[in-house]
Structure formats: structure tokens, C-alpha cells
Amino acid sequence: MVNPMMVLDKVELRRGGRVIVGPISLGLRDAGVTMAMGPNGAGKTTLLRALHGLERVSSGQIRWAESAEALRARQAFVFQTPILMRRSVLDSIAYPLRLKGVSRGEARERAAACAETVGLRVRLKKDASTLSGGEKQKMALARALITEPALLFLDEPSANLDGRSTREIEEILTHIRAGGTRIVMSTHDIGQARRLADEVVFLHDGRLVEQASSAAFFDAPQSNQAYAYLQGDIVI
Ligand SMILES: Nc1ncnc2c1ncn2[C@@H]1O[C@H](COP(=O)(O)OP(=O)(O)OP(=O)(O)O)[C@@H](O)[C@H]1O
């Protein structure tokens, strides 16, 4: 593979005496959008969290092209349910910069610019908890973008959103991908995966079943599980 950004070598995660992910071996190249797909419980969230360093790997190795510490400082994670703080939208978006020691004024200025990017400019003074679901997710995205991540993880970022908000989130992701940010995300929305993914990593029962370019995966899935999943059938 040309320029792998990270390589997983027989990575396994065990919890409560049970293997929940793995063993998985795969390489992720250093550009584009990788989409983790698979039925409920396949291990998508756990895998993304492990890649971001939020889950302990039980055995095997995750190797990075650069030092894990250096990369960690330049990666961000958008959770399925946004984490809310009792602050204004502006200060919520500015928060990661404040943690890094950036002055309040500069953090707020950059937060306002990020809010503009995600279409939340007119909501800046509102309490974050009063936002709609779609707005909350956009705020979470802005809070991730403010750190200018080289690598962005998103776990089903539009799971509970209507079609319009989903498209708006997708437009933002397309924009930041074009800016060079590497994206690794999960979705159950097959249309979204077709629209955004460069490659698909299909998981089933904690195992990697397929890794293929988006075109190859959607045109001709190689496994019965992926075929059934794309048809909306029960995957066994
Ligand atoms: N900390 C944990 N301890 C025990 N089991 C866990 C833990 N975390 C996840 N699991 C189990 O691991 C499996 C994979 O879960 P995960 O949330 O990664 O799947 P998923 O593909 O993201 O599912 P969904 O599409 O429903 O969000 C599930 O069976 C889940 O119950």
C-alpha cells in the first residue's frame, strides 16, 4: 500500500472474557474517507475508539506512520451523541483551544470562524443545550475542527438527523476532506457511504470481512454478509 497512515496487525479487543473486535489486520492509507460499515454490534464504534486511543487493545499492534503521540495531538473524535457543556455555543466550540492554553479572545475568534463553517453563526450566544439535534452535531463538528485535525474520526455523525441536516453535515465533511483532513467514520446510511466514502471497511461480528474501494464494494461486494447488509437483509 502507498503511504499507509496506520497499520493494524492482528489487533484484538477482549472485554469480559469475550472477543468483541478482531483479530483485525489492515492498512489505512493517508488520504480520503474510510467508512466503517456493518450491522449493529459488528464492532465499528469499538474499532474507531481503539484507533483514536480511547480503547485498550488486548493483543496485536496498531502502528502509525508518525509517532502516536504526535498524531494524537492532531486528531479529533466526533461522538454519535454530542457531549454538551453548560456554556454558550461560542464557548463550547472554543473549549478545546482554551484547554491548549489559547487566550480567550483568540479562542473565541477562531470559534466564531468555525461556527461559520458549519452554519451556526447565528446561534453563537445560545446555550449549547438549547440547540436542535442537528445543530448540536454541527457544534460538535466545529469543536473538532477548531483543533485543525489531520485525522478526524466520526461515529455515525448523522444517526438521528433528518435528510437536510444529514446533507449539511456531509457537505461540511466533503469540504474538510478537500482541505486535506483524513476522515475515518462509521455509518448505517448506505446512501451516505456511497456519497462520502473512498473505501469501505466492512465488519461483521468483530471481524474484518471486506476492505475495498467504495466503487468495488457497492458494485460487487465479495462476501455474503456485505451483500445481505446492502440488500437490507438480516445478516447472519
Ligand atoms: N466495554 C465493553 N464491554 C463488553 N462488551 C462491549 C464493550 N463495548 C462494546 N461491547 C460489545 O462489543 C460489540 C461491538 O460493539 P460496537 O458498539 O463496537 O458495535 P457497532 O458496530 O458500533 O454497533 P452499532 O451499529 O449498534 O453502533 C457489541 O456486542 C457490544 O455489546
Report ipTM (2 d.p.): 0.97
Q: Which residues contact 143 (CB under 8 A, 6 or more apart)?
A: 92, 93, 95, 96, 114
Per-residue model confidence as pLDDT tens digits over 129-156: 999 989 999 999 999 999 999 999 999 9
In the reported structure, the alpha carbon of residue 6 is separated from the centroid of ligand 1 by a whole-number distance in angstroms of 22
Is the minimum distance from the CB of 44 to ligand 1 under 6 angstroms? Answer: yes
| Low-confidence winner among 17-21, 29-33, 101-105, 154-158 (lowest mean pLDDT) | 29-33
Global confidence as pTM: 0.93
Cα(159)–Cα(114) distance, rounded to whole angstroms? 22
Is the minimum distance from the CB of 17 to ligand 1 under 6 angstroms? Answer: no
